[in-house]
């Protein structure tokens, strides 16, 4: 069991390293070194950088030296929490990102909970009442969830809520709350705005999980031990919940490891459509403006978040499925 | 000789026949197959079906609502639509163009329009056109966008771009998936471990931020074609993992089958066993996996272009068309722009059902 945790942890570390390399590559990709771009940007906005300052920056990031040295310098600063400066905002990257990274995490996590909360009971229902009206209805809903990309769903919902109720559904806060400091009232405001985007984000994953859960449980329900349990006079709820559901949960749980990256990815896109204050819109703006430190940092943070989420879901999987717990010893 | 009974036919049928018979039973998948084929036919004849040049802008025809075609004129089949007239807004003094219901313009079949090349043949033949059209008159079946470009024509061309990007992307993914999945299964040992861990790593990365980063780094001066291929490669680079897993899984389970052992005992070489004995039995599984991977590709391209980081205008794809419908102000003004979502949803649904049907039929002995 400990070996399993350690192996997962090492794999997670390796993934983080790969993501950091990818982020660094993204920072490096635009032509010319980024100090040139930085100087040009500052000069254009009327605050020229002196040659000594430019030299200092170049030295700081080891420009002109081999790539791995540059990467080393960058990553050692990142580890201490110094992500560089955003060229567009002219402030430290951490300050620009601020709360947004936590709101992204909150949104993705809420979507994850909704996915679980919906897929599990619906999956069980669909399997137990196979070919019932409800089963067909959920299957149809599931296909819609898969076929409509979530940004499109966000667009369509936005259009109809505007058309029918005259309300703008975007944002995570009401307009008067946006600039207020954190308080209970603001948290409550967030809680009221969160469900809609979270549901939109969760729908595609939910649809997939329902299908997996339904198929798995149907396989289990056909097995002889279920017949035995029923023959022994167990109540129907107990027959279903005690063993078949638990056995069917395994692939369900192992899918969560891939669900979280999927949700984090999706949050970027629907945030742009719905105008949510997450890192999504910031990332796209930074990429379009070639504000590379900001963009690279966001990619890195999202990546790390995903890996941590995946690791946690692995631990959950281990807790749910005794087969994994015991095999690994 | 009497006709063979059903069970006799079943016994001598080839694997592909069995697969086809089983697939045919899946009604929804059959319908989806037809839909997919129709969409690809439409993609091939996009220019023929377009009613006007999808790139041509005209300030006069900005935001024209979908324009109905009336089929009968005075009781006879003579399709017509209305011409365009400019009205001065009394408040803003802006010239606004609307349909002029007093002036009928007749629709012509197999009309001459803008020039295009169809399978290498230069032509200007279009399915629909207008007879004696005045300046600005046009058939705008789905209305026009801000720049006065005809949405129907743009949608036709976009369908071609988005559908082919899916195909090209899937081919690249398929190549990577079969290669790495196959190598992983054949060599086993540390090669297998490395590839499997690699797949896990790729799958645990948040794809969209990475795609965005890579796509944004494409040089601005690249041509439309270069961007097209670059985007396709970026999308397929992260999509091969599922295919690799299918190939590896099938390979490992087939290796244990008796017919493989029989071939080995008969002295067949490894290459012959793989290509002659094993490949045919899991080809159907690969086809099913591919048809499930295609819609994911199409969604990826649409999402990237929608965010302005995929294909870039003047290229036309579903994502680029939807980009115009991105904010609520535009949608309130021109709700028909959202129509571009319809083919996206249709195609993705059809591919999903098709893939489901294929997956069920892939193993006809099960």
Residues B311, B320: Cα–Cα separation, whole Å: 7
Reading the block at residue B219, the tokens are 């040089």
* Cβ–Cβ under 8 Å, residues A162 and B332: yes
**B interface test, pick of A16, A264, A287, A300 with most B CB neighbours within 10 Å:** A287
Reading the block at residue B213, the tokens are 């980063």
Percentage of chain A exceeding pLDDT 90: 2
* Cβ–Cβ under 8 Å, residues A111 and A198: yes
For the question of an ipTM over 0.85, the answer is no
Taking CA atoms, B56 is separated from B314, B318, B321, in Å, by: 11, 18, 15
B residues 126-185 lying closer than 8 A (beta carbon) to A = none
Reading the block at residue A272, the tokens are 């742009």
**A interface test, pick of B28, B29, B213, B357 with most A CB neighbours within 10 Å:** B213
Quote the DSSP letter at residue B358. H
Beta bridge mates, B117: B122
Mean pLDDT along residues A122-131: 87
Q: Is B213 in contact with A295 (Cβ distance < 8 A)? A: yes
The DSSP result for B43-86, as a single string, is HHTHHHH-SS-TT---GGGTTPPP-PPEEEETTEEEEEEEEEEE
Residue B314 preceded by cis peptide, ω within 30? yes
For chain B, give the mean pLDDT.
80
Percentage of chain B exceeding pLDDT 90: 1
Q: Domain A99-320 class?
A: mainly alpha
Q: Is A159 in contact with B219 (Cβ distance < 8 A)? A: no
Question: What residues contact residue B343 under an 8 Å CB cut-off, 6+ apart?
Answer: B39, B155, B159, B318
Q: How far is CA B62 from the centre of its chain?
A: 28
The domain spans of chain B are 31-43+154-361, 56-149
Render pLDDT for B29-82 as a digit per residue (tens, 0 to 9): 888 899 999 999 988 888 888 777 787 777 777 777 777 777 777 777 777 777
Nearest to B270 by CA among B186, B210, B191, B179: B186
* Cβ–Cβ under 8 Å, residues B154 and B145: yes
Distance from CA of A232 to the nearest CA of B (A): 32
Task: Determine the straight-line distance between the first and last CA of chain A, rounded to whole angstroms.
Answer: 5
**Better pLDDT: B267 or A292:** B267
pLDDT at A329: 44
User: Is residue B308 pLDDT above 70, yes or no?
Assistant: yes
In this structure, how many other beta carbons lie within 10 angstroms of the beta carbon of residue A9? 13
Determine the length of chain A: 329
Residue A266: is it exposed, middle or buried by C-beta count within 10 angstroms (0-12/13-18/19+)?
buried
The domain spans of chain A are 2-97, 99-320
A residues 116-145 lying closer than 8 A (beta carbon) to B = 143
Quote the DSSP letter at residue B119. T
Closest residue of chain A to B331, computed from CA coordinates = A159
Decide if B217 touches A, using CB distance below 8 A. yes
Among B206, B216, B338, the residue with its CB nearest the CB of A265 is B206
Instruction: Specify the residue for token string 């949405």.
Output: B151
Taking CA atoms, B243 is separated from A14, A39, B193, B246, in Å, by: 23, 46, 17, 5
In this structure, how many other beta carbons lie within 10 angstroms of the beta carbon of residue A39? 19
- Residues of chain A neighbouring B203 (CB-CB closer than 8 A): 258, 261
pLDDT at A15: 84
Reading the block at residue A265, the tokens are 């990815």
Render pLDDT for B76-109 as a digit per residue (tens, 0 to 9): 777 777 777 777 777 777 767 777 777 777 777 7
* Angle of the B151-187 helix axis to the B189-203 helix axis, nearest 10: 150
Instruction: Specify the residue for token string 């009613």.
Output: B51
Decide if B1 touches A, using CB distance below 8 A. no
Phi, psi of A84 (to 5 degrees): 90, -170
Percentage of chain A exceeding pLDDT 70: 86
* Cβ–Cβ under 8 Å, residues B161 and B340: no
For chain A, give the mean pLDDT.
80
Q: Is A22 in contact with B213 (Cβ distance < 8 A)? A: yes
CATH number assigned to the domain covering B31-43+154-361: 1.10.3720.10
pLDDT at B34: 92
Residues B81, B83: Cα–Cα separation, whole Å: 7
Closest residue of chain B to A31, computed from CA coordinates = B219
Residues A196, A241: Cα–Cα separation, whole Å: 31
Q: Is A284 in contact with B212 (Cβ distance < 8 A)? A: yes
Torsion of CA B231, B235, B237, B241, to 10 degrees: -170
Decide if A283 touches B, using CB distance below 8 A. yes
Mean pLDDT along residues A255-284: 83
User: Is residue B235 pLDDT above 80, yes or no?
Assistant: yes
Q: How far is CA B144 from the centre of its chain?
A: 23
- Binned at pLDDT 50, 70 and 90, residue A97 comes out as confident
Q: Is B214 in contact with A26 (Cβ distance < 8 A)? A: yes
Mean pLDDT along residues A87-109: 83
Quote the DSSP letter at residue B110. E
Inter-chain CB pairs, A–B, below 8 Å = 129
Question: What residues contact residue A73 under an 8 Å CB cut-off, 6+ apart?
Answer: A60, A61, A62
Closest residue of chain B to A264, computed from CA coordinates = B206
Which of A227-231, B35-39, B362-366 has the weakest average pLDDT?
B362-366
Beta bridge mates, A91: A86
**Better pLDDT: A4 or A329:** A4
Decide if A13 touches B, using CB distance below 8 A. no
Percentage of chain B exceeding pLDDT 70: 95
Q: Is B205 in contact with A143 (Cβ distance < 8 A)? A: no
Residues A254, A5: Cα–Cα separation, whole Å: 15
pLDDT at B38: 92
Among B200, B205, B307, the residue with its CB nearest the CB of A269 is B307
3-state secondary structure (DSSP) of residue B239: coil
Distance from CA of A261 to the nearest CA of B (A): 5
**Better pLDDT: A171 or B276:** B276
CA angle A212, A218, A223 (to 5 degrees): 135
Reading the block at residue B136, the tokens are 């600005």
């Amino acid at each position: 069991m400990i070996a399993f945790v350690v192996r997962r942890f090492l794999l997670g570390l390796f993934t983080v390293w790969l993501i950091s390399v990818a982020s660094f590559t993204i920072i490096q990709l635009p032509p010319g070194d980024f100090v040139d771009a930085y100087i040009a940007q500052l000069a254009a906005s009327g605050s020229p950088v002196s040659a000594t300052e430019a030299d200092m920056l170049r030295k700081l990031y080891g420009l002109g030296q081999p790539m791995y040295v540059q990467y080393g310098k960058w990553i050692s600063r990142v580890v201490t929490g110094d992500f560089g400066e955003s060229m567009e905002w002219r402030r430290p990257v951490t300050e620009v990102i601020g709360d947004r990274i936590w709101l992204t995490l909150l949104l993705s996590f809420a979507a994850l909970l909704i996915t679980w909360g919906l897929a599990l009971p619906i999956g069980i229902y669909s399997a137990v009442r196979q070919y019932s009206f409800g089963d067909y209805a959920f299957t149809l809903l599931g296909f819609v969830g898969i076929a409509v990309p979530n940004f499109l769903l966000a667009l369509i919902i936005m259009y109809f809520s505007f058309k029918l109720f005259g309300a703008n559904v975007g944002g995570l806060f009401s307009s008067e709350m946006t600039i207020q400091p954190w308080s209970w009232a603001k948290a409550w405001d967030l809680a009221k705005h969160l469900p809609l985007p979270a549901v939109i984000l969760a729908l595609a994953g939910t649809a997939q999980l329902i299908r997996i859960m339904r198929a798995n449980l149907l396989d289990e329900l056909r097995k002889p031990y279920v017949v035995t349990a029923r023959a022994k006079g167990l109540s129907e709820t107990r027959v279903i919940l005690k063993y078949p559901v638990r056995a069917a949960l395994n692939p369900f749980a192992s899918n969560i490891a891939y669900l979280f990256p999927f949700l984090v990815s999706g949050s970027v896109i629907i945030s742009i459509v719905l105008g949510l204050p997450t890192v999504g819109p910031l990332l796209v703006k930074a990429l379009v403006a070639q504000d590379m430190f900001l963009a690279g940092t966001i990619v890195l943070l999202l990546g790390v978040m995903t890996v941590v989420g995946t690791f946690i879901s692995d631990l959950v999987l281990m807790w749910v499925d005794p087969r994994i717990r015991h095999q690994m010893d | 000789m009497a006709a063979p009974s059903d069970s006799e036919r079943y016994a001598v049928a080839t694997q592909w026949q069995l697969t086809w018979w089983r697939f045919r039973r899946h009604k929804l998948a059959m319908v989806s197959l037809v839909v997919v084929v129709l969409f690809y036919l439409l993609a091939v004849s996009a220019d023929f079906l377009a009613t006007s040049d999808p790139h041509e802008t005209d300030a006069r025809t900005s935001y024209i609502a979908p324009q109905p075609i009336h089929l009968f004129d005075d009781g006879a089949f003579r399709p017509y639509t209305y011409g365009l007239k400019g009205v001065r807004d009394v408040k803003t003094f802006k010239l606004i163009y609307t349909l002029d219901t007093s002036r009928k313009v007749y629709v012509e079949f197999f009309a001459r329009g803008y020039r295009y090349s169809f399978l290498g043949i230069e032509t200007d033949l279009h399915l629909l056109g207008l007879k004696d059209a005045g300046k600005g008159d046009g058939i705008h079946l789905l209305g026009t966008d801000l720049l006065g470009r005809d949405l129907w024509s743009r949608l036709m061309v976009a369908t071609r771009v988005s559908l082919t990007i899916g195909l090209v992307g899937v081919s690249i993914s398929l190549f990577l998936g079969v290669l790495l999945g196959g190598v992983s299964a054949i060599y086993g040992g540390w090669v297998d471990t490395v590839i499997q861990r690699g797949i896990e790593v790729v799958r645990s990365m948040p794809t969209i931020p990475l795609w965005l980063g890579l796509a944004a780094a494409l040089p601005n001066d690249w041509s439309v074609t270069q961007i097209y291929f670059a985007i396709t490669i970026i999308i397929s680079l992260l999509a091969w993992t599922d295919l690799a897993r299918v190939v590896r899984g099938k390979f490992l389970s087939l290796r244990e089958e008796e017919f493989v052992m029989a071939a080995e005992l008969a002295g067949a070489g490894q290459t012959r066993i793989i290509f002659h004995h094993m490949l045919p039995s899991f080809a159907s599984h690969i086809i099913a996996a591919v048809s499930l991977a295609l819609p994911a590709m199409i969604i990826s391209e649409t999402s990237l272009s929608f965010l302005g980081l995929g294909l870039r205008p003047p290229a036309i794809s579903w994502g680029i068309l939807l980009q115009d419908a991105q904010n609520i102000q535009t949608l309130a003004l021109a709700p028909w722009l959202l129509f571009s979502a319809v083919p996206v949803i249709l195609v993705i649904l059809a591919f999903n059902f098709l893939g489901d049907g294929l997956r069920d039929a892939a193993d006809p002995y099960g």
